[in-house]
Amino acid sequence: MTFFRSLFLLIALLGSLAGSLAFSPLSHAGSSSNDILSQIQKKGEMRIGVSILPPWVMENKKGELIGFEIDIARQLAKDIGVKAVFKQYQWKQMIPALLKGDIDIIASGLSITPKRALKVNFSRPYSRSGYTLVSNLALTRDFKSIKELNDKKIYITAIKGSVSASLIEKVFPKATMDLRKTEKEASSAVVNGSVHAFIAPSPIPEFIAITHSDAVDLPLKDPLLTTKEAFAVNKGNQEMLNYLNSWIIAHKADKWIKSTRKYWFKSLKWQKQVTDLH
């Protein structure tokens, strides 16, 4: 009898333990209930971090946000079935805001870098950009190769302390750097012929070429440095990443992303909506 009684108690104990485990947090491993996508759907809104950077993000004459990323984020929210709520930050504040949980996602022309990827998870890239140069036609008309810019007699401008400035040193080490404080100063310098070329992130050189086609040119087919932009979310949100990647694939296939980017980056039709790009 002692043996059977002990066996009965052991079975009862194991049954009790199994029941408690069934309701423990371990039983929810792999569940998406805590994923940000589920939370967004429940709240009915998606908080999106953005930073002013034409033509990705701008304010129109009414103070409303417009731009490539605004269109992207609004369409994303619409497809999820929620409201897009934009929160503006200084560029360096966006990732910290995401990590704190103040926003659900970043959609602001954020380029993928290894350093950033240590802190956040990136989706597939949905946009491609880079750094290129615009040259003064009168000063470079007879140049047969871009290599002719690598000469101490050649003056190349960029914004002080920028990635563009470091590119001058790497790509054209023999050229004379004539750095400026603002984009407006550098743009004027290449247009009026004070410098031979201006290196800047796209689409600044492209817009200068559109506006001053009689004075400047875009001599390069490919950027000096290419970047790829993507959505950023906090780590551990695999369901959200899966959705974002599927969303990007679908809207690349139907050409919506391409046509939207063309409007904001290949023309200045939207310029009348804003007061000052600088």
| Residue type (1 letter), 266 | K
Residue 191 lies in a domain: yes
Domain count across the chain: 2
Residue 20 lies in a domain: no
User: How many degrees, rounded to 5, is the angle at CA 50 between CA 126 and CA 206?
Assistant: 60
Q: Same domain for 81 and 207?
A: no
pLDDT bracket for residue 267 (50, 70, 90): confident
pLDDT bracket for residue 16 (50, 70, 90): very low
Residue 192 lies in a domain: yes
Q: Same domain for 119 and 134?
A: no
Q: Same domain for 138 and 220?
A: yes
Residue 278 lies in a domain: no
Q: Return the SS3 of 105.
A: strand
Give the least confident one: 5-9, 177-181, 221-225: 5-9
Provide the percentage of residues in the chain whose pLDDT is more than 70.
86
Looking up residue 184, the CATH number of its domain turns out to be 3.40.190.10
The gap between the terminal CA atoms of the chain, to the nearest Å, is: 91
Residue 146 lies in a domain: yes
Q: Same domain for 45 and 181?
A: no
Q: Which helix H or strand E contains 246, and what residues bound it?
A: helix 238-253
pLDDT bracket for residue 268 (50, 70, 90): confident
Q: What is the pLDDT of residues 47-70, one digit of tens each?
A: 999 999 889 999 999 999 999 999
Q: What is the DSSP letter of 277?
A: -
Residue 11 lies in a domain: no
**How far apart, in whole angstroms, are the C-alpha atoms of residue 56 and residue 29?**
38
pTM of the predicted protein model: 0.77
Q: Same domain for 99 and 236?
A: yes
Q: What is the mean pLDDT of the chain?
A: 88
Give the least confident one: 24-28, 62-66, 77-81: 24-28
Tell whether the model's pLDDT for residue 42 goes beyond 50.
yes
Residue 154's domain comprises 130-226
Q: Same domain for 219 and 238?
A: no
pLDDT bracket for residue 201 (50, 70, 90): very high
Residue 155 lies in a domain: yes
Tell whether the model's pLDDT for residue 129 goes beyond 80.
yes
Q: Same domain for 263 and 180?
A: no
**How far apart, in whole angstroms, are the C-alpha atoms of residue 273 and residue 58?**
10
Residue 179 lies in a domain: yes
Q: Same domain for 200 and 142?
A: yes
- Answer for the pair 229, 129: CB distance below 8 angstroms, yes or no: yes
Per the DSSP assignment, residues forming a β-bridge with 156 are 177, 197
Q: Same domain for 174 and 116?
A: no
Q: Same domain for 109 and 158?
A: no
Q: Same domain for 56 and 118?
A: yes
Q: Same domain for 68 and 121?
A: yes
**Structure token pair of residue 141:** 């008309």
**Structure token pair of residue 37:** 């996508």
**How far apart, in whole angstroms, are the C-alpha atoms of residue 249 and residue 245?**
6
